[in-house]
Amino acid sequence: MQLFCNPPKSTGDEKVTEKEFNVEAMSIHKDAQAMLHKAKQEDIETAWDRLQNQSPQCKFGDTGICCRICVMGPCRISKKAPLGVCGADADVIVARNFGRFLCGGAAGHSDHGRDCIEALEAIVEGKTKDYTLANPEKLLAVASELGIATENRDVMEVGRDLVDVFYSDFASRKKELAFLCRVPQKRKEKWQELGITPRGVDREIAEMMHRTHMGCDNDAPNTLLHGARMCLADGWGGSMIATEISDMLFGTPTPKKSKVNLGVLKKDQVNILVHGHNPIVSEKILEAVNDPELIELARSKGAKGINLAGLCCTGNELMMRKGVPMAGNHLMTELAIVTGAVELIVVDYQCIMPSLVQIGNCYHTKMITTADKAKFTGAEHYKFTMENGSAQARAAVKLAIEGYAVRDHARVDIPIEPVDILTGFSNEAIVGALGGSLTPLIDAIKAGKIRGIVGIVGCNNPKFKQDHCNVTLARELIKKDILVLATGCVTTALGKVGLLLPEAIDQAGPGLKEICGSLGVPPVLHVGSCVDNARILQACALIANELGVDIADLPVAASSPEWYSEKAAAIGTYAVASGIYTHLGLPPNILGSEVMTNLAVKGLDDVVGACFAVEPDPVKAATLIDTRIKSKREGLGLAP
Ligand code: XCC
Ligand code: SF4
């Protein structure tokens, strides 16, 4: 058997030697650097090592000109062979590949949304005792927004109608998604004109798979336009539904304190990490770790208690609503295990590296999977359903407690003290902080005290020094009086360097400092997980409606400096299609097509009123975004 902990050295001399091993070039964070050293000493491979082993990466794949869509191929485009066997050129091949890439992302968010509908359905149909409606007010508010009668009606009855509306958003029978009622009129007209009004979520996803079958959509711009429609169905459909239902089930986030980095792990307690995306699993684990019986059991095994911390997006969900501390973002997931202090990782789906099982095997760390659609070879599967969530969560926590007894305390290293953060800025909470309406924010934008708003979202990617771009961009923007909204893995990056604290206003420009200072909020607001980017869409729509303009007219932008996933590309695409200029730190695999590249970074601006900008240097990216914000401000007749 091949032991992962002592991986065979790869044949080439490309392997990083101990001397070249420069942790400062791999991550900006002290906790990451310490664990990278520990991993090296213990001969444990991480994503950084594997990237090295994969390098140089395939140029055909990198530029998107390798086609595997049929078995006349695979075909790859070169000077010598500019057409695939079927006659497809680089533009068609890149467009089809990118279409399917976006499809994976839209499907991921949206299938998560569907799971939320099923959860809500089980509650309103009285089919679960394990889950309840923590926030009936939100259910009623959303229902009435979507035109469902609420007066003098039982909330469960209203909920059943709402479930029907949400399910039909996934089907093909609707003309447009229900939440399009939130979209400014001008934007909706633009979508109609272009024929990209998103209809059913599943319909757009299936149609993309159809279009990109051999012999269908062989016109790159046309494929990209459908990509825009499909991603709009994600942002204004699947993701928005996921966010709104999660608020109904577990509460709308309100400002609260929490802590971030590997220092949230506890030396003398049973440590459990939740990883993935859907709070339906992680909320149950949170309940179980607070069960006095289980805490007593942990004590009987010599632990002082049970400690729960989050990773990635389900961590964001728990942090936003319950203040549960965050151990780390994407590239910290492997390193969290390297502390030697983690008994158990409970996962649902998305962004979970298969390597976690392998690294867990080098310690006493167990991994539990919970979704039939996301099993990992070598992990234990505890299927979570609406009927058994509480019991499964307790069983999982018991497994972790047993694990504590076999922890090798000599191998434990928790390298850092945690950093405080302020989290919980849902739109409702922001409006609350502003005294009940968005008017003070809009006035601040008009007065130029807040010059614009930028959502920095997304991931880590070992191709970048971890979190360098995420953090530098945020610092540069707040200096320019631009309010930053953070979601997903960027949150942890910014939290770890103190940007999610009110004191961070000292790093902001004078206007932003004044406004955030008077409200007692940080210049960077944590608005949630990746599906919660729907909150940012909604906020943009609210501001645009208030001003009577299109979203594309607003001094706003989005950025994903260190993105890696299909989901991040889908988010970027729905942002652009919604009229939001979007910066990416590295390009998607489309550079092999001039048509696609030009459309993405320029042509789309004439079509949907926004485009992508690709810039790896975060300081230059801040300048690009600032220039865009200036021009939008001038367009609204405001001082730049
Ligand atoms: Fe995944 Fe959402 Fe990216 Fe983090 S930010 S690595 S997509 S967990 Ni969404
Ligand atoms: Fe080659 Fe065309 Fe088949 Fe793609 S669809 S693999 S380009 S023959």
Residue 67 pLDDT class (50, 70, 90 cuts): very high
Identity of the residue numbered 341: A
Tell me the pairing of strands 419-423 and 256-260.
antiparallel
Which ligand approaches the C-alpha of residue 566 most closely?
Answer: 1
Distance (Å) of CA 537 to CA 297, 358, 581, 620: 45, 38, 13, 25
Q: Which of 253, 606, 624 is nearest to 429 (CA)?
A: 253
Q: Which of 270, 268, 269, 281 is nearest to 311 (CA)?
A: 281
Q: Is 61 in the pocket of ligand 2 (CB under 6 A)?
A: no
CATH 1.20.1270.30 applies to domain 90-250? yes
- pLDDT tens per residue across span 456-468: 999 999 999 999 9
User: For the chain, what are the domain ranges?
Assistant: 90-250, 424-635
Please choose, from the candidates 533, 539, 524, 537, the residue with its C-alpha nearest in 3D space to the C-alpha of residue 560. 533
Q: How far apart, in whole angstroms, are the C-alpha atoms of residue 24 and residue 27?
A: 6
CA-wise closest residue to 556 among 579, 524, 587, 584: 579
Residue 1's pLDDT is 34
Mean pLDDT of 340-346: 98
pLDDT > 90: what percent of the chain?
96
Q: What does the pLDDT look like over 472-505, one tens digit per residue? A: 999 999 999 999 999 999 999 999 999 999 999 9
* CA 443 centroid distance within chain: 30
Ligand 2 centroid to residue 589 C-alpha, Å: 17
The pair of three-digit structure tokens given for residue 524, joined into one six-digit string: 């960077």
Q: What is the mean pLDDT of residues 388-411?
A: 98
What is the reported pLDDT for 4? 53
Question: Residue with the nearest Cα to atom 7 of ligand 2?
Answer: 84
Place of tokens 């039939």: 372
Fold adopted by 424-635: Rossmann fold (3.40.50)
Q: What is the mean pLDDT of residues 381-407?
A: 98
- For residue range 350-387, list pLDDT tens digits in order: 999 999 999 999 999 999 999 999 999 999 999 999 99
| Nearest atom (ligand 2) to Cα of 75 | 1
Q: What is the mean pLDDT of residues 274-296?
A: 98
Determine if ligand 2 sits within 6 Å of the CB of residue 92. Answer: no
Q: Whose CA is nearest to atom 3 of ligand 1?
A: 459
**Residue written as tokens 């949400």?**
166
Gap between the Cα atoms of 550 and 542, Å rounded: 10
Band of pLDDT at residue 607, cut at 50, 70 and 90: very high
What pLDDT digit, counting tens, does each position of 240-263 carry? 999 999 999 999 999 999 999 999
Q: Ligand 1: does its nearest atom lie under 6 Å from the Cβ of 567?
A: yes
What pLDDT is stored for residue 172 in this prediction?
76
Q: Is 347 in the pocket of ligand 1 (CB under 6 A)?
A: no
Pairing of strands 306-311, 326-328: parallel
Q: Is 72 in the pocket of ligand 2 (CB under 6 A)?
A: yes
pLDDT band at 21 (very low <50, low <70, confident <90, very high): confident
What are 505's two structure tokens? 């206003």
- Cα dist from 518 to 202, 292, 511, whole Å: 45, 41, 11
Partners of 27 in beta bridges: 466
Query: Which ligand has the minimum distance to the alpha carbon of residue 347?
Result: 1
Is residue 84 within 8 A of residue 75, CB to CB? The reply is yes
| Burial status of residue 308 (CB atoms within 10 A of its CB: 0-12, 13-18, 19 or more) | buried
Residue with tokens 């980017």: 533
Q: How far is the CA of 63 from the centre of ligand 2 (A)?
A: 16
Distance (Å, whole) CA 60 – CA 55: 14
Q: How much distance in Å is there from the Cα of 491 to the middle of ligand 1?
A: 10
Element of type H or E holding 270: strand 270-275
pLDDT tens sequence across 518-564: 999 999 999 999 999 999 999 999 999 999 999 999 999 999 999 99
Q: Which atom of ligand 2 is closest in space to residue 84's alpha carbon?
A: 7
Torsions phi, psi for 386 (to 5 deg): -70, -20
Q: How far is the CA of 422 from the centre of ligand 1 (A)?
A: 20
State the DSSP H helix or E strand holding residue 76, giving kind and residue range, or none if neither.
strand 75-76
Query: Which residue in 230, 243, 165, 161 sits closest to 201, CA to CA?
Result: 230
What pLDDT does residue 19 have?
53
Kindly give, in sequence order, each residue whose CB lies less than 8 Å from that of residue 237, ignoring residues fewer than 6 positions away: 110, 113, 169, 170, 177, 179, 198, 201
What band does 17 get if pLDDT is binned at 50, 70 and 90? low
CA distances from 166 to 115, 203, 307, 577 (A): 11, 14, 36, 22
424: three-class secondary structure by DSSP: coil
pLDDT band at 6 (very low <50, low <70, confident <90, very high): low
d(CA 279, CA 285): 10
Give the pLDDT band of residue 11 (cuts 50, 70, 90): very low
What is the rounded average pLDDT for all residues in the chain? 96
> What 8-state DSSP symbol labels residue 267?
T
Pocket test for ligand 1, best of 102, 333, 490, 530 (most atoms within 8 A of CB): 530
Q: Is 280 exposed, middle or buried (0-12, 13-18, 19+ CB in 10 A)?
A: buried
Each residue of 171-197: b (16+ CB within 10 Å) or e?
Answer: eeebebbbbbebbbebbeebbeeeebb
* Residue type, position 566, single letter: E
Counts for the chain of helices (H) and strands (E), in that order? 26, 16
pLDDT of residue 20: 66
**Are the CB atoms for 104 and 231 separated by under 8 Å?**
no
Which residue in this structure is represented by tokens 């911390």? 309
Q: Are strands 66-67 and 75-76 parallel, antiparallel or unpaired?
A: antiparallel
- The count of residues in the chain is 640
For residues 232 and 234, give the distance between their C-alpha atoms in angstroms, rounded to a whole number: 5
Residue nearest atom 2 of ligand 1, based on CA coordinates: 313
Alpha-carbon distance 377 to 382, whole Å?
Answer: 13
- Check if the beta carbon of residue 137 is closer than 8 Å to that of residue 127: no
Average pLDDT over residues 445-470: 98
Q: How many whole angstroms separate alpha carbon 573 and alpha carbon 584? A: 11
pLDDT at 2 over 50: no
Ligand nearest to the CA of 215: 2
3-state SS assignment for residue 273: strand
The answer to whether residue 9 scores a pLDDT higher than 80 is no
For residue 153, count other CB atoms closer than 10 A to its CB: 14
77 in ligand 2 pocket by Cβ < 6 Å? no
Residue 166 is inside which H or E element, if any? helix 155-170
